[in-house]
Amino acid sequence: MKFSLISLGCPKNLTNSEEFSARLIGKGHQLLLDPNGADILIINTCGFIASAVQEAEEEIRYALELKKAGAVKKVAVTGCMVERYKEKILTDFPQLDLVFSIGKQEEIEKTLTKNGFQNSPLPKQLYLPEYKMSLTAPHTAYLKVADGCNNRCAYCTIPFLRGNYRSKPMEDILREAELMAENGVKEISLIAQDTTSYGQDLYAKPSLVPLLKNLLKNRKIKRLRLMYGYPHRVTEELAELIASTPRIFHYIDIPLQHIADPVLKHMNRHCDGAQIRRTLDMLKKRVPDISLRTNFIVGFPGETESDFKELQQFVSDYEFDNMGVFEYFREPATAAYDLDRQIPQDLKHQRRLLLEETQSRVIDRINKRIQGTVVEAIADGPTFGRTYKDAPDIDGQVTFSQPVKVGSIFKARIMKSTGYKRTLEPVK
């Protein structure tokens, strides 16, 4: 069988695509990068927010046009949108051949022989993939240490889509990372809905630090990157470990969502503004060259002008190296859906633009400070790549003044910076 794949959404979803694609390849099936000529085109969807659902629906329409033209024989849909809408997808798109749940990805070869709606519960445990291919560059890969979430933020659909928090056993993660390193991966990004909760379900307490220490024992692993931490679980012990070794990039992604206490309370974020500031101050003190990435939601129900001004000032004061801003989406089945004082769409849009403008001024200040400094970089191509401050597929890219070996990790001097566009000169 020849199959093709469209993988949407976050890196966590991408790891699912990598795993079920590898199962098919391991059974002798062929992955086509171009869908033309495929026996089946699989769309692994995101269903987190309305815009992600809209993107998935556009891809489904595109795939069905390919089917109508005879370019592909069958079209199948899986992923988070299936967990959210289930059989309704077939009602909306009756031309689809197959819609199957995330649980059915575990038996992908058998599932693809069927039609209609195929459903299985989410797996209760995570295991070492029997084989995993990479849908990213050969030198960088995502390693999912857990799935699901217990935080129950008021705006979030993830617990309904991915279930409760489930950690992958530590020995399986260690083996998976070893296999990645043996296959040439230089940069392993640890991901979960909340990496800082890793192990709480298996070992009775969060165990990210022990996991990292065990990973560092394997000298084949060159660099680790931490994604998606929760503010009050980023501990001094974790900061000290990051500071102690260059093999953990001095980078951490902590989605903060807001800083104003009334908004954080209504978001059910389990931490207040003072705690967030203490965490960031501690990180900056313990790891002076720490690169911080975060996300914020503007226009959450009840967000006042004062709340937003506090957020603007916070972004200006704390100078995040990379930052995403999202307008609040009112999602059915979430606790925030029925909250009073919903914010008009035009005001949400205005606040997003204002916060992005604040961040733009922050980047201008950062660029003046980093001009001429030497940083560690990783080459995604001969003349482009990222610094340690930039996660793959999420943050910006830099260009190199001269060609370098793809996948190499090296020191480089920042020669020119305009916004997020930077030019680096390799340093011998």
CATH number at residue 335: 3.80.30.20
- Which residue intervals of 11-116 are DSSP H helices? 11-26, 50-68, 80-85, 88-92, 108-111
In a domain, 128, yes or no: no
Alpha-carbon torsion 295, 299, 304, 309, what sign?
A: positive
Return the structure tokens found at 6.
């469209």
The backbone torsions φ and ψ at residue 102, rounded to the nearest 5 degrees and listed phi first, read -60, -40
- Looking at the structure, tell me whether residues 312 and 170 fall in a common domain: yes
Tokens of 337: 């859906």
Question: What's the pLDDT score for residue 396?
Answer: 87
- Are 193 and 305 contained in the same domain? yes
- Give me the pLDDT at residue 157, please: 92
Phi, then psi, of 220 in degrees rounded to 5:
-70, -25
- Looking at the structure, do residues 381 and 362 belong to the same domain, yes or no? no
Residue among 119, 123, 98, 97 nearest 19 (CA): 123
A 10 A CB-CB count for 373 gives: 10
Does residue 134 form part of some domain? no
Amino acid occupying residue 304: T
Last residue of a domain, one of 368, 392, 407: 368
- On whether residue 127 sits in a domain, the answer given is no
Nearest Cα to Cα of residue 376 among 408, 420, 401? 408
Do residue 174 and residue 110 come from a single domain?
no
Could you tell me the CA-to-CA distances from 344 to 156, 298, 307 in Å, in that order? 20, 11, 16
Assess contact for 157 and 331: CB atoms under 8 A: yes
Range of the domain at 220: 140-368
Residues 265 and 343 in one domain: yes
**What pLDDT sits at residue 423?**
97
The answer on 203 and 148 residing in a single domain is: yes
Say yes or no: 63 and 186 in one domain.
no
Q: For residues 94 and 147, state if they share a domain.
A: no
| CATH number of residue 413's parent domain | 2.40.50.140
Same domain, 269 and 220: yes
Whether 109 is in a domain gets the answer yes
What is the reported pTM?
0.94
The residue with tokens 């289930």 is: 86
HSE-up of residue 134 (Cα within 13 Å, Cβ side): 20
Q: Which pLDDT does position 132 carry in this prediction?
A: 77
Instruction: Check which CATH number belongs to the domain holding 84 and give it.
Output: 3.40.50.12160
Do 349 and 302 share a structural domain?
yes
Per-residue model confidence as pLDDT tens for the chain (428 residues) = 999 999 999 999 999 999 999 999 999 999 999 999 999 999 999 998 888 999 999 999 999 999 999 999 999 999 999 999 999 999 999 999 999 999 999 999 999 999 999 999 998 889 888 777 888 899 999 999 999 999 999 999 999 899 999 999 999 999 999 999 999 999 999 999 999 999 999 999 999 999 999 999 999 999 999 999 999 999 999 999 999 999 999 999 999 999 999 999 999 999 999 999 999 999 999 999 999 999 999 999 999 999 999 999 999 999 999 999 999 999 988 999 999 999 999 999 999 999 999 999 999 999 999 999 999 999 999 999 999 999 998 998 999 999 999 999 999 999 999 999 999 999 98
Query: Does 229 share its domain with 279?
Result: yes
Query: Could you identify the residue written with the tokens 């993988």?
Result: 7
Residue 139: Cβ-neighbour burial (10 angstroms; 0-12, 13-18, 19+):
buried
Integer Cα distance of 16 and 376 in angstroms: 30
In a domain, 7, yes or no: yes
Domain tally, the chain? 3
C-alpha dist (Å) from residue 373 to 369, 370, 413, 415, 427: 8, 5, 5, 8, 11
CA nearest neighbour of 255 among 306, 325, 342, 336: 325
Q: Which helix (H) or strand (E) holds 99?
A: strand 98-100
- Asked if the structure places residue 211 within a domain, the reply is yes
Q: Using an 8 Å Cβ cutoff, are 374 and 411 in contact?
A: yes
328 within domain boundaries: yes
156 and 171 in contact (C-beta within 8 Å)?
Answer: no
Alpha-carbon distances, residue 408 vs 56, 74, 299, 398, 421 (angstroms): 35, 40, 42, 14, 20
Cα-based distances in Å from 39 to 112, 349, 371: 10, 43, 52
In a domain, residue 86? The reply is: yes
CB within 8 Å of 147: residues ≥ 6 apart:
12, 126, 162, 163, 165, 166, 192, 193
Q: Are residues 362 and 380 in the same domain?
A: no
Q: Can you tell me the distance from the alpha carbon of 201 to that of 165, in angstroms, rounded to the nearest whole number?
A: 7
Region of 187 on the Ramachandran plot (φ > 0 left; ψ -120 to 50 alpha; else beta): beta
